[in-house]
Amino acid sequence: MDARATTHHLGLVIFDCDGVLIDSEPLSLACLTTGLNRIGVAIDLATVRARFTGTSMPSIMAHIARDYGVTAPDGFVETVKAETLALFDTELQAMRGVAEAVAALGLPACVASSSDPVRLRHSLTLTGLLPLFGAHVFSSAQVKRGKPFPDLFLFAAERMGVPPGACLVVEDSVPGVTAARSAGMRVAGFTGGGHWGHDPAGSDLVRAGAARIFSDFSDLATIIAEA
């Protein structure tokens, strides 16, 4: 943990959304894999999970064009988004215990997600979590560069009026942890989502800079007390 992340008492908790607040990653990654296969990208779900969890759609499509030589046809992104939202409508759930944990924080909280604003607010509404954050929901669409760059977390901290060194970020992806550390923020890695069955200890998140790993929101109060 660098010096910038130890010079302030904790004043804000910033939550990623997908894979942290909502158990959406198994659904969205499956839709993305199916969509990519449909346009001729030879990629499986495990590879999509490893490479693209926590990454914005523009970054994903740039990666596909560069490394697979496939340029998505017009309307591809919109189709995948629509298919994902339709699946969310029937299957999306909040993480177990997250609503109670956020309500009991005793600190300001906000959301900072790579999801586009429509999907983000739709997901939080479906799962009943939006009232916990109100207007304090920020998307990578509001900044120039998405994760793994620090722009979104710095933007969220500025909007919330809290210095970066006083922020704790809860993330489930390497790009997200990398972004938070680059912003000079403390990071706790969450591995309770359905996509983390391959590595519940969160070794990738630790290597990226997460100071603590937890998989159950009943532990959040302890994480915050020790941050």
pLDDT in tens, 161-203: 999 999 999 999 999 999 999 999 999 999 998 877 666 678 8
Q: Are 16 and 52 found together in one domain?
A: no
How is the chain split among helix, strand and coil, in percent rounded to 5?
Answer: 50, 10, 35
pLDDT of residue 11: 97
pLDDT over 70 at 45, yes or no: yes
Q: Are 97 and 163 found together in one domain?
A: yes
pLDDT of residue 53: 82
Closest CA to 108 of 12, 206, 217: 12
Burial 30-45 (b: 16+ CB within 10 A, else e): bbbbebbeeeebebee
Q: Are 197 and 220 found together in one domain?
A: yes
pLDDT of residue 189: 96
Q: How far apart are CA 14 and CA 46, in angstroms?
A: 27
Q: Is 51 exposed, middle or buried (0-12, 13-18, 19+ CB in 10 A)?
A: middle
Q: Are 9 and 37 found together in one domain?
A: no
Looking at 59, 91, 123, the residue that finishes a domain is 91
% of the chain at pLDDT higher than 90: 80
Scanning the structure block, which residue is given the tokens 């908790």?
13
Q: Are 73 and 121 found together in one domain?
A: no
Do residues 127 and 93 touch, judged by C-beta distance below 8 A?
yes
Q: Are 111 and 83 found together in one domain?
A: no
Looking at 39, 56, 91, the residue that finishes a domain is 91
pLDDT category, 2, cuts 50, 70, 90?
Answer: very low
Q: Are 35 and 8 found together in one domain?
A: no
pLDDT over 80 at 131, yes or no: yes
Range scoring the smallest mean pLDDT among 48-62, 82-96, 141-155: 48-62
Torsion of CA 70, 67, 53, 1, to 10 degrees: -150
> What is the count of structural domains for the chain?
2
CATH code for position 141: 3.40.50.1000
pLDDT category, 6, cuts 50, 70, 90?
Answer: very low
pLDDT over 90 at 156, yes or no: yes
Q: Are 212 and 113 found together in one domain?
A: yes
pLDDT category, 3, cuts 50, 70, 90?
Answer: very low
Token pair for 189: 């890695």
Q: Are 77 and 175 found together in one domain?
A: no
pLDDT over 70 at 7, yes or no: no
Question: Which residue range forms the structural domain that includes residue 32?
Answer: 25-91
pLDDT of residue 4: 40
Q: pTM, whole model, 2 decimals?
A: 0.84
Q: How far apart are CA 1 and CA 180, in angstroms?
A: 11
Q: What is the mean pLDDT of the chain?
A: 92
Q: Are 79 and 122 found together in one domain?
A: no
